[in-house]
Amino acid sequence: MIGDFVVKGKYVGAEVDRVDAIGKVTGETKYADDLRLPNMHYGKILFSPYPRARVLHIDTRSAEALHGVRKIITAKDISGNNLYGYEIHHHPLLVGEGQETRFVGDSIALVVAETPEAADQALENIEVDYEVLTPLTSPREAKAEGAYQIHPGSQGNICCRPELIHGDIAAGFKNSEVIVEHTYFTSRQEQAFLETESGVAYVDDSGMLHIFSSLQDPYDVLEDVCYALGIPKSRIHVKGTIVGGAFGGKLITTIEVHLAAMVYLARVPVKIVLDREESFIFHPKRHPDEIHVKVGSTRDGKIQALEAEVLSDAGPYSGRTPEVLGLTVSALVGPYGIPSVHLTGQAIYTNNLDSGAMRGFGAPQAAVARESILDKLAGTLEMDPLELRQKNFLKPGQETLSPVLGDSPVSLELLKDQILEKMGPLPEVSPEQNKRVGRGFCFDMPVFDVSAIPVLGKSGVGIAVEIFSDASACVYAGGTELGQGITTVLAQIAAEELGLPINKVFVEMSDTWTCPRAGRTSASRLTYVLGNALLLATEKIRNTLLSRAAKMLEVSKDELILENGKIKAKGSPSKGVGLQEVATVCSNEGLKLREEGWFKYPEDRYMYGHTFMASAADVVVDLVTGEIKILKLVNIHDSGKVINPILAKGQLYGGSLQALGYALTENLIVEEGKLITPSFSEYLIPTAMDIPEEFVADAVETPYPTGPYGAKGLAEHALNSTTPAILNAISNAVDIDLTTIPVYPEHILEAIRAKETDHQ
Amino acid sequence: MAAFDYVKPPSLESLINDYAQAKSEGAILAGGTDLLVKIRSGLVSRRVLFDINDLHEMKGISDEGDSLRIGAATRICDVADSNVVQSTVPFLSLAASQLGSPQIRNRATVGGNIVSASPAADTVLPLIAMGARLRFGSQGGNREVSIEKFMEGPGQTDIREDEVLIGVVVPKLSNGCKSHFIKVGRRKAVAISVVNIAGWIKTDRTGVIEDVRLVLGAVAPTAIRAGETETFLRGKRPNEVVLKEAARITAGQSSPISDIRGTQKGRRLLVEAWTFRLLQILMTQNEAN
Amino acid sequence: MSHHNIYLMVNGKRYSLEVESDRSLLDVVREDLNLTGIKKGCDKGDCGACTVLLNGKPVNSCMVLAVQADGKEITTIEGVARDGKLDPIQVAFIKHGAVQCGFCTPGMILTAWALLRENREPMREEIQKAISGNLCRCTGYVQIIDAIQSAARVSRVNNE
């Protein structure tokens, strides 16, 4: 299937070492908290202790009087809008007197002090009178008639209400011989990045504000700082530092607006580092959803109709909720061809923790409901769950229902064959052991953003490349290195295209001063959009170099190739010139050696590309204790050409284990609007002991015609597809319905007992 | 973190004197893995911490014939790795090896695990099952008390203001006894127990249970002996029906609460399930000694 | 709050310093010694990002008072590479893709380093248990375990 435009280059497709690895294994890499500035002060935020309360009075006098306290800031000190937020600017930087808090992550005051201890002391000394009000803590309650409006004018506290309709749903159910329906509940998932929100900032002599912080989108931070504080955009420089994990949790502005306000008003450099509890409270989580789904099929397993309603807890602010819920709704269809579909979602504002982006972006919730109901349907039809899926696979050429780019070759059959081969026979346990084995599958169609249009208007995605007279090159890319490896991927492509050894290629990222706008680092988009932009930029530089070399060598440009730091004539290898020599000549002659590439998808609408993904799990369940052991977990993706196989595997393993946590261990509990699991000893992400006994990651590489070297995006995939595979394997082993995650052993015991009681 | 002074007493005697003088404003600092977290989160506030880590009287494991003496400042990792513990009180070493993380085990101490009085503290269960006795020192002299009596509730013990836990005396398992410890956590490592169970059993030559101990953690205000189960099992010849009934009786003796780690109902189910499994393991285990 | 004059042997170098009683070893190493390779992930002993070796054993430096480390030997990630040469564990982490965001990496490498000193030929399960106190959210641990196993092989060959 490999097309001739896909190459196995020296670097592209090879297992190249991460270009940022040495600093990370030696401890030399500087994260935001490792930066120190002269006269640096420490910033702390006073958060609301109540999910909903009216701030009556704030007294900062005793805090201000403390030794070592530089400045206390409240809403009345802010001269800008004092608001920020993605798309809708309704997130207050500081809740002022007379205003209401909307959740426990709302900020009341800011402290700038000489030491962290002095800042802590000042926080304790700020006196705030609150009128405590009853919070809305469930979406049902919040959308009920008469509920108070968390945002004035938001009727029924509705944040958004996406709908996806296709075909005639009534006819679809009429044509169905079997109908099954069920409700699934998914939990609030915490990104649990290890590096908490952090940053440093200062204003330089010329009045330029510099922010260095752990973020996913420097451009969005710049917009927010400008809007909230009224600082001209031309006076703001945002640099994303190397990020210690984000997974969507740093996609909206975190502490940067707070930091900028502190620096501006206290007139000293400031560092903010949230502690773990603050971090857990502060950033938006994966939305907890209630998904009712109903599916109709013929007796031979051809699905005719799919209907679903999603009720999603938006938390207090809009943020990414409309996009996330939009994806949940469209992902309910998955990689299947279904003639009639009616899917609706409602995201409701509450006073709970905020909800927003987390790896998978709404698709994991959808996959839980979709793949669970498919197994239930298979059970009712007495059909093999894999056969049912296969019968309904999206067919090559068939149009997809979600707003995706319809030009991706469908490889579901191939994935199915591969995963069956990798899984091998179902392991056996002897019956006297009181254990049962089960196998579960999930197929998915993870999307990646090809356009980023909502973020960038119609400008597209930019990148810059410069080659220097010493034949070293630098790529300036506005994406952010979160750990996913984009720096390495871009270095590989640039080295390949410019014929340079990879150690002569440097990649500067996430800097609004030096990098053209590239939009957010999310939605598995950077390899595709930045890779394409990079090819456009390197092509221009190649042209310049080759044209100049053609003159030097007195041959036609078309006969020249660029490799290993040399420009050579194709037919006569002796005829060549060093790249350094050509670059020096170009530089001396003033030829342009810094070029920008702008990639823009032809269609001006929000759009995804799609990939394909299959996961399967074998589990053994102990009937006595309910204990679940994952014997084998296989993830296979088709994200087109894989630029770096080691990095790609890392994305699958990592995403898959986050999904295992989502299925079995992770439970962020919020009661009455307050977080009661604010630490890593209460919110349990998997340890090295929790991985499956056999853990496999692999790829099928169907080239994507518009991708760089045929590549698509890859990052979120295994998070979508692993949870349902595990849930279905457990269901399959012990023949029970699972409707709520996380699944604990006692839930299994309860279900087994309930079943036994039913049978008696 | 609330400010505190740090003192490292040169001897046990000076520790006892200084600690008595500090009254309720002093705290004993051993591994620090529990105390420092509590101080930092503001749950505990003390003016002065007394570091006992280098007091040799409070460290180490010594074999005293029928029993082991374990110093309060002995690290959990040393209990887990100790040959003499492994061979004479194997389930204590098993419990120690599952407490916290490797990093925690390298700092945390037996004394700390006891005096923090968490109902889920892993090492406390085998100590109760063995009828271990705690040795305290104070200006008024030494005192010994059984660990079972010492525990009064979550974070609540019978310790007196001026007393310092010096060590614990653990009777060895007698010949022919088999022991086991089970930890049920939400993940396979570094988890606070949702339920934990420790037990030992002694059967006669014909397979009849002569004596048995069963201790449950995290399902009552303190770790508790499942006395009814013990009585039920004594003199019985175990088979699946007997063990199932024993498990059922055990669940009835637990009085769990619902918290972030589990519900009351869920914990009862787990107690029953894992008691059955623990007894099964004890019955099929090769003799420990 | 009392002040204490202490000395620390960090990565073979002796440091004399005055510390306040309530400061953690983590903060003193990061702030006073400017060795920022160890990371603060939780400050509660839950994540292992701040792992250092204290007299050769991995501990969470957030849970050790600096004054308690007086006179002790401390190894931080900065002390793992010798004379500018990466340790086989560091090389293996790079080769096996065991690094993603890198925030857990210093602590993970130190834990692995301590393990391989005690156990030259660890089984996979032994590695898993040894690193169970070092949380990683990015990698799914597989490539980390692969790297440690591979480093153990390389070290055995080098020592033979």
User: Which ranges of chain A have pLDDT less than 50?
Assistant: 1-6, 454-457
CATH of the domain at C128: 1.10.150.120
Question: Do A673 and A578 belong together in one domain?
Answer: no
- Write the single-letter amino acid at B205: R
Question: Do A579 and A650 belong together in one domain?
Answer: no
Nearest to A427 by CA among A437, A442, A414: A437
Q: Which residues of C touch B1 (CB under 8 A)?
A: 22
Report the pLDDT value the prediction gives residue A602, as an integer from 0 to 100.
67
Question: Do C68 and C117 belong together in one domain?
Answer: no
Domain edge (last residue) among A599, A627, A656: A599
Nearest to A486 by CA among A708, A234, A272: A708
Question: Do C39 and C57 belong together in one domain?
Answer: yes
Q: Which residues of C touch B116 (CB under 8 A)?
A: none
Of all residues in chain A, the one with the smallest CA distance to B244 is: A624
Residue A335: helix, strand or coil by DSSP? coil
Q: Which residues of A touch C40 (CB under 8 A)?
A: 33, 273
Domain edge (last residue) among A548, A571, A599: A599
Answer whether residue A209 is part of any domain.
yes
Domain edge (last residue) among A243, A258, A282: A282
Per-residue pLDDT for C69 more than 90?
A: yes
List CB contacts of A187: < 8 A, sequence separation 6 or more.
Answer: A288, A662, A666, A667, A668, A740, A741, A742
Question: Do C53 and C111 belong together in one domain?
Answer: no
Nearest to A749 among B187, B189, B269 (CB): B269
| Extents of the domains making up chain B | 5-51, 56-171, 177-284
- In chain A, what is the greatest distance between 2 CA atoms, to the nearest angstrom? 93
CATH T-level topology, domain B177-284: Enolase-like; domain 1 (3.30.390)
Report the pLDDT value the prediction gives residue A5, as an integer from 0 to 100.
46
Domain edge (last residue) among C79, C96, C116: C79
Q: How far is A380 from chain B (nearest CA, A)?
A: 30
- In chain C, what is the greatest distance between 2 CA atoms, to the nearest angstrom? 52
- List the beta strands (DSSP E) in chain B: 5-7, 26-29, 48-51, 61-63, 67-71, 133-138, 141-146, 151-153, 156-157, 164-171, 177-184, 195-203, 209-217, 224-225
Answer whether residue A148 is part of any domain.
no
Tell whether A569 lies on the interface with C, counting CB pairs under 8 A: no
Question: Do A494 and A533 belong together in one domain?
Answer: yes
Question: Do A592 and A620 belong together in one domain?
Answer: no
Question: Do A438 and A583 belong together in one domain?
Answer: no
Interface test with C, best of A16, A17, A19, A24 (most C CBs within 10 A): A24
Nearest to A624 among B187, B267, B277 (CB): B277
Contact check, Cβ <8 Å, C45/B104: yes
Domain edge (last residue) among C34, C61, C79: C79
Nearest to A198 by CA among A221, A215, A180, A183: A215
Tell whether C124 lies on the interface with A, counting CB pairs under 8 A: no
C-alpha to C-alpha distance for B12 and B7, rounded to whole angstroms: 13
The string of DSSP codes covering A103-139 is: STT-EEEEEEESSHHHHHHHHHH-EEEEEE-PPP-SH
Report the pLDDT value the prediction gives residue A239, as an integer from 0 to 100.
98
Which class in CATH covers the domain with range B5-51? alpha beta
C-alpha to C-alpha distance for A168 and A612, rounded to whole angstroms: 27
C-alpha to C-alpha distance for A751 and A434, rounded to whole angstroms: 16
Answer whether residue A671 is part of any domain.
yes
Q: Which residues of B touch A687 (CB under 8 A)?
A: 187-190
Answer whether residue A354 is part of any domain.
no
Domain of residue A90 covers: 32-134+191-282
Answer whether residue A289 is part of any domain.
no
Tell whether A271 lies on the interface with C, counting CB pairs under 8 A: no
Nearest to C157 by CA among C109, C123, C120: C120
Tell me the pLDDT tens digit for each residue of B42-74. Answer: 899 999 999 999 999 999 999 999 999 999 999
Q: What is the CATH number of domain B56-171?
A: 3.30.465.10
Question: Do A469 and A435 belong together in one domain?
Answer: no
CB atoms within 10 A of CB A208: 14
pLDDT bin (cut points 50, 70, 90) of residue B285 is confident
Domain of residue C26 covers: 3-79
Residue C56: helix, strand or coil by DSSP? coil
Give chain A's domain count. 3
C-alpha to C-alpha distance for B17 and A403, rounded to whole angstroms: 76
Q: Which residues of A touch C106 (CB under 8 A)?
A: 25, 27
Per-residue pLDDT for B288 more than 50?
A: no
Residues 591-610 in A contacting C (C-alpha not used; CB under 8 Å): none
Question: Do A116 and A259 belong together in one domain?
Answer: yes
The string of DSSP codes covering A38-105 is: TT-EEEEEEE-SSSSEEEEEEE-HHHHTSTTEEEEE-GGG--S-SEE-SSS--EESS--TTPBP-STT
Residue A680: helix, strand or coil by DSSP? coil
Tell whether B40 lies on the interface with A, counting CB pairs under 8 A: no
Give chain C's domain count. 2
Nearest to C22 among B1, B104, B107 (CB): B1
Question: Do C21 and C69 belong together in one domain?
Answer: yes
Question: Do A434 and A547 belong together in one domain?
Answer: no
Question: Do A528 and A650 belong together in one domain?
Answer: no
Nearest to A213 by CA among A205, A222, B40, A367: A222
Answer whether residue A182 is part of any domain.
no
- List the beta strands (DSSP E) in A318-389: 340-349, 355-356
How high is the ipTM of this complex? 0.98
C157 or B69, higher pLDDT: B69
Tell whether C108 lies on the interface with A, counting CB pairs under 8 A: no
Answer whether residue A459 is part of any domain.
yes
Residues 67-96 in A contacting B (C-alpha not used; CB under 8 Å): none
Question: Do A241 and A111 belong together in one domain?
Answer: yes
Question: Do A482 and A555 belong together in one domain?
Answer: yes
Question: Do C93 and C66 belong together in one domain?
Answer: no
Structure-token match 């009681």, residue found: A757
Domain edge (last residue) among C13, C47, C79: C79
Report the pLDDT value the prediction gives residue A503, as an integer from 0 to 100.
96
Question: Do A586 and A691 belong together in one domain?
Answer: no
